[in-house]
Structure 1
């Protein structure tokens, strides 16, 4: 077994290790708007829920190199305090992937990827109509972990509304993974489907 000491390796190499071992990662397909109302849509695979009472979700926006180190999503959320997390299913993974391209802030990624905006109930950012689950969120806090390239800001949002397609509901509160067909991220360009599952009872 090899041991890696972070300070002795380039951040890019540590990144490769982390995205290869923290798997599979669910994808937060985050929609936001800037103060002028321009729509933004981007996928984030450092994503999870962190509280159910109240319901809170979080994702991490990485710091990039170059003239625009912060993603438009993060800047928009800081400015407006609102966003939507859309869950990615197999049918539109290629369109989701198209939104990960580096484009200017004025580019509408809904239009870029050919995805359909759907009005939200309480927040300004649109939902992705192709998604079977949406979470309308209000910003709770941004935790800046590091401003260095490869660092990140953890975005925590209170879920104000859950929108769930009827066909993925098994009953009032259980979601059918077979109908949801969610996808996740592995290392590099590799994604994963969620077909191969097994159950275990908790002791």
Structure 2
């Protein structure tokens, strides 16, 4: 099969996000004039080591947020956000925070997720997350298409749950990261192996 996206795929469901998978989930927390917000984004990744930087993309809008989502609106307002790493154990709470709640309604409270304070920014984080990355906004890049933007941030603080450190390494086998596949499908990282690069 071959198709041009502009012509449509002719399938019952769009295959694009199933092809680009698995994708890590950035559970983005923000604070703004209307309160605290928590929402998952599966167009998320790390993009640079020095200084450490991350990005996530928002691809839809809410009628009460001026052609964007709560997360992006509050990041524009404050210039900060926190990326919380999602583990298998909190998959239901993560999913609950994807609900399109009215602006100002706290997803932490709605999903029963405990908050903790960040250290370098005025923003809440997920208290029990395996890791959380405090970020200062570097740029918001408009993308082609309605309501599509990429948000980039520099990591200014890193929280790591103590038991996730083993032999001086952040060990994902201690918590089983959750990742997004396509459609409504997710996967859990349980098998980890190491490859030595030719130049190592």
Scaled by the length of structure 2, the TM-score of the pair is 0.92
Match of 2:133 in 1: 135
After superposition, give the CA deviation of every residue in 1:52-76 in whole Å (9 maximum; x if it has no partner): 1110000001124756531100000
Match of 1:170 in 2: 166
Say which of 67, 71, 74 aligns to 1:73.
Answer: 71
Kept in 1: contact 2:29–2:81 (CA 8 A): yes
Kept in 2: contact 1:33–1:76 (CA 8 A): yes
Structure 2 residue runs without a partner (length 5+): none
After superposition, give the CA deviation of every residue in 1:16-38 in whole Å (9 maximum; x if it has no partner): 222111110000000001124x0
Q: Where does 1:40-51 land on structure 2 (aligned, <5 Å)?
A: 40-51=37-48
Give the CA RMSD over aligned residues: 2.0
Aligned length: 197
Match of 1:60 in 2: 57
Say which of 151, 154, 160 aligns to 1:158.
Answer: 154
After superposition, give the CA deviation of every residue in 1:156-181 in whole Å (9 maximum; x if it has no partner): 00000011111111233x21121031
Name the SS of the counterpart of 2:179 in structure 1: strand
Name the SS of the counterpart of 1:139 in structure 2: strand
Instruction: Determine if the alignment matches structure 1 residue 16 to structure 2 residue 14.
Output: yes
Name the SS of the counterpart of 1:16 in structure 2: coil
Name the SS of the counterpart of 1:197 in structure 2: coil
**CA shift in 2, pair 1:167/1:67, >3 Å:** closer
Kept in 2: contact 1:57–1:156 (CA 8 A): yes
**CA shift in 2, pair 1:61/1:107, >3 Å:** same
After superposition, give the CA deviation of every residue in 1:131-167 in whole Å (9 maximum; x if it has no partner): 110000000000010352xx51100000000111111
Moved over 4 A (4+): 65-68
Match of 1:196 in 2: 191
Match of 1:35 in 2: 33
Name the SS of the counterpart of 2:14 in structure 1: helix
Structure 1 residue runs without a partner (length 5+): none
CA distance in 1, matches of 2:84, 2:154: 14
Instruction: Determine if the alignment matches structure 1 residue 105 to structure 2 residue 100.
Output: no
Scaled by the length of structure 1, the TM-score of the pair is 0.90
